[in-house]
Amino acid sequence: MPFRESVVADLAPGSWTLNDDQQGLVTAAGQFTRDRLEPLLGNQPDSARWGETVRLAATLDLATMILPQQMGGMGISRHDLALVVEQFAAGPLERAAELTLSSAALMTLREFNALDLLPDRNIQHYFDGTTSVAPGIPDVDASGFWVLRQHACSQAMMVRMDGERPQLVLATLPATQGTQGLAVALPGALSIERYTTASTGHVQRLVVPEGTTPEGNPVRQWFLDATTYLAALLSGAVQHGVNFALAYSASRQTFHKPIAAHQLVAVRLADMLISAHTIHLFLRSVGAQDTRALIETIRSMARHVATEALDTVRELVQLCGGHGYVQGLPPAARFQTVHWFAMLLLKLEAGLRVLTAPDTRQQGI
């Protein structure tokens, strides 16, 4: 019997209790993912059913949530958006990312009043499968960058060096890889690609303007938004994984009793439960604070989330009896994709480290 109660329910301090609006967003997203995404952990959908899922996801109105209030939107906070993104990760991570891929870039563009740089001004199109903005994550030595891309002709949010100064740009990457870059993974409909800096020197790009305040820094804000986004995906995956573990360990029996009754299994379940709690609370704590003063804290969160997510997925595979027994169960799908998202998150953490270094201009991004 599925374990439907969230493993992070009722753990947060009383002052962190979700208000009615927040609870409504989380509940709507959670119901959608349980109905449409969670079953995909065992079976890939055909194109028609996935198209229907994308259309239904668009009705959740992520576009309206992200749009600023002066443009008729909700102006959702990063904290609340992270709670929604967590819910999407009840399904395969690559599918959750496909439905929410543009959200981090849109949040950064909103922060700097730069949504008019988008080639398609209809924000809804970035959530209904029409187009997307691919997150671009640079290597710390500025030799290249990684892109999580859905559409071949979509733009990418990336960091370029203008002399010794990093700039945040919207760039149009080559439609096909060819000799321009290297596709290192294809999780579902997405591709994780690496480009060298030299191979993209000619691409068309638009510079995201700096804010009007002295602390306005689009590059830093992009790193913070992208880090929060990937951390939310991994947090949701861990929560769902622990939900599965609790249900599985209660239903599977050895020696005429549930495996959860065995001391070693119970200890492992407790460790996974602690991981799910700490990741979720860490994410909420960071999301609720002023990100301009929190680079070191966000770096710590990124390292913690990536490490705990990888450890939890490995424990889930072992809980199911190892690789020979896990096929067809949700941990098998998790095991094939979590490491890629953790890798991207750690690259963002490395970028944040460079941003806080005294000699940032010499090191590049």
Q: What pLDDT score does 14 carry? A: 62
Could you tell me the maximum CA-CA distance found in the chain, to the nearest angstrom? 69
Structure tokens at 297: 């804290």
CATH class of 18-120+217-365: mainly alpha
Question: What integer pLDDT is reported at residue 1 of this predicted model?
Answer: 43
Helix pair angle (20-36, 47-58), 10° resolution: 170
Domain residue ranges in the chain: 18-120+217-365
CA distances (Å), origin 329, targets 8, 325, 337: 22, 9, 14
3-state SS record for 225-284: HHHHHHHHHHHHHHHHHHHHHHHHHHHCEECCEEHHHCHHHHHHHHHHHHHHHHHHHHHH
Answer yes or no: are the C-beta atoms of 157 and 132 closer than 8 Å: no
Residues 6 or more apart whose Cβ sits within 8 Å of residue 210:
112, 216, 217, 218
The per-residue DSSP string of 192-230 comes to: EEEEETGGGTT--EEEPPPPSSTT--HHHHHHHHHHHHH
Question: In this predicted structure, what is the pLDDT of residue 186?
Answer: 60
pLDDT tens for the 365 residues of the chain, in order: 455 556 665 556 666 778 888 899 999 999 999 999 999 998 888 889 999 999 999 999 999 999 999 999 999 999 999 999 999 999 999 999 999 999 999 999 999 999 999 989 899 999 999 999 999 998 888 788 899 988 877 889 988 877 778 889 898 877 655 445 577 656 567 889 888 876 665 566 778 877 555 456 899 999 999 999 999 999 999 999 999 999 999 988 888 899 888 999 999 999 999 999 999 999 999 988 866 657 889 999 999 999 999 999 999 999 988 766 688 888 988 998 999 999 999 999 999 988 776 544 444 45
Cα four-point dihedral sign 202, 211, 76, 124: negative
206 phi, psi to nearest 5 deg: -120, 130
The answer to whether 269 touches 260, Cβ cutoff 8 Å, is yes
The number of beta carbons lying within 10 Å of the beta carbon of residue 38 is: 19
Concatenating the DSSP letter of every residue in 305-339 gives HHHHHHHHHHHHHHHTTSHHHHTTSHHHHHHHHHH
pLDDT of residue 317: 92
